[in-house]
Amino acid sequence: MRGLGQRYRHLKRYQEIARVLLKYGFSELVDQLELASYLSLSRRLLRREAIERPHLTAPERIRLAIEELGPTFIKFGQIMSTRPDLIPPAYIAELEKLQDTVAPAPWEAIKQEIEEELGAPLDEVFASLETEPVAAASLAQVHHATLPGGEDVVVKVQRPNIEGIIETDLEILFDLARLLQERTPLGELYDLPEITEDFAVTLRAEMDYRREGRNADRFRRNFADEEYLYIPQVYWDYTTRRVIVFERISGIKIDDIEALDAAGFDRHQIALNCARIIVKEILIDGFFHADPHPGNFFVMDGEIIGAMDFGLVGHLSQRLKEDLVRLFIVAVRLDSEGIVEQLIRMSAAQRRVDREGLRRDLERLLTKYQGLPLKEIRAQEVVNEIMPVAYRHHLRLPTDLWLLGKTLGMMEGVGLKLDPDFDIFAVSQPYVDQFVRQMTSPRAWGQKLLKGTTDWGELFTSLPRRIPRILDQVEEGEVEISLKIKEIDRSLSKLDRIANRLSVSILVAAFIVGLALLLPTFIGNQVVWIIVPAGFAFVAASILGLWLVYSVWRAGRR
């Protein structure tokens, strides 16, 4: 009933989704999602329109449909483009092309949004604010401004009413995920509602600009001792949930090679700085910028890199970093079996995975790079070749690792433009060696031992309180012990058949021996009706005995 009420409340949006899906030829999906009944337009006309697009592949049609469905679905598609464990490679490549540029919102609506958030008229807050945005996306747009103190800033403001649109679409996505979970084979492999919940958490966090400001402050602290990265200041007095004000930085876009050469920048040094940033983020901080496209990075004087847009970030725990380094080590050794074991330890591969098939696929992948120097191996190429293997064997690496793979690929692309001969592995090797030493140092082992000792101490401390409760539950019959032995039914069935065969064998043997002892007595008797049945019984028992011997021999051969 709740689902029906939700669908009635968002009827217009359900109709829009159904029309777009039919428009791009996904009528079967419309039927599975029970959207056909909400259509007011003839499905026949929509199907005809879809047929007129024979030149479009299924991934292209998916991308166009997502772009037409608006910001929530575009963001969902962009997140899914980082999940090759869920999406086939051809769809990944197409989803990466999703465009998030739209026409700017009317200035009066943006002005009202800023004034409501900051609680004052614009002329009291800013010395000046440009009405034309310098960038406009589906969730927000950016304007240049000047503060009363003369500081040049950029103002990022959410589009009016976008939160209501997002929440409506999220409710619909949960509903559609539930139906897909119940009615498609995907539900047997993945928890689609949980995937949708993860996306909802990520999107809602990205829409809170206070969180983006905290991310920027954390990056600034992490790189406080490094001169090659500049993080703009956040003006917290002008920052709310829907508006954030950053220091305006100027420079040349990091992929504008002609402008960099004209300004006399050292491209090799810029590439080196990029590599140092990403390696430090991964191995030292465990906190990285997960949207490093060239529009978010500028080259400033002294080959310093200025960063922007901190809404999407990735996190790597100490354990995940250690797993990543171990995976890197066994991969460099071309140890396919070691990779499989490490993936299982990371819970990326299920224990019932086809180990031999996975090992064989990894062996083929590693063979391609055997003998190549590390500087000739491209991270993006490796990620692209891992994607089909991950999808085929349902490898479930943490989302942050897929984000990291995408980040490495984007940064590598920038680095190759800056310096085609640049070797990121040579830069990262000292950091990897340092991290391995830290992993195996007495201090690291001591911390793990201390944590284990603390856990055992807590257990023994809590036992005196827990044991009486456990005993009371046992006495009251509230504790049940369930033992499940794999294939127990099949084993019991075999045992039952063996016992039956043994019983029959004993009975037949006794029958044969008994008849053999009685036959001489019958033969001395001249009564035919006694001799003939006894003879037939002896022959039948003998035949049955031979059949049992044959069946035992045949079962032994099987």
Say whether 291 is catalytic: yes
Burial of 2 (0-12, 13-18, 19+ CB in 10 A): exposed
Q: Which residues pair with 315 in a beta bridge?
A: 287
Q: How many CB atoms lie within 10 A of CB 78?
A: 16
Calculated CA dihedral for residues 430, 435, 437, 438, nearest 10 degrees: 140
Is residue 158 within 8 A of residue 139, CB to CB? The reply is yes
Is residue 126 within 8 A of residue 133, CB to CB? The reply is no
Task: Kindly report each contact of residues 47-52 with a partner whose C-beta sits within 8 Å and lies 24 or more positions away, as own/partner.
Answer: 47/22, 49/23, 50/22, 50/23, 50/24, 50/25, 51/25
Given 291, 309, 361, 400, the catalytic residue: 291
Nearest to 540 by CA among 511, 517, 518: 511
Q: Helix (H, G, I), strand (E, B), or coil: what is residue 144?
A: strand
> Tokens for 127?
């010395």
Is residue 402 within 8 A of residue 84, CB to CB? The reply is yes
Residues written for the chain: 558
Residue type, 281: E
Q: How many CB atoms lie within 10 A of CB 165?
A: 16
Nearest to 163 by CA among 68, 80, 245, 242: 242
> Tokens for 172?
């619909």
**Which residues are known catalytic residues?**
291
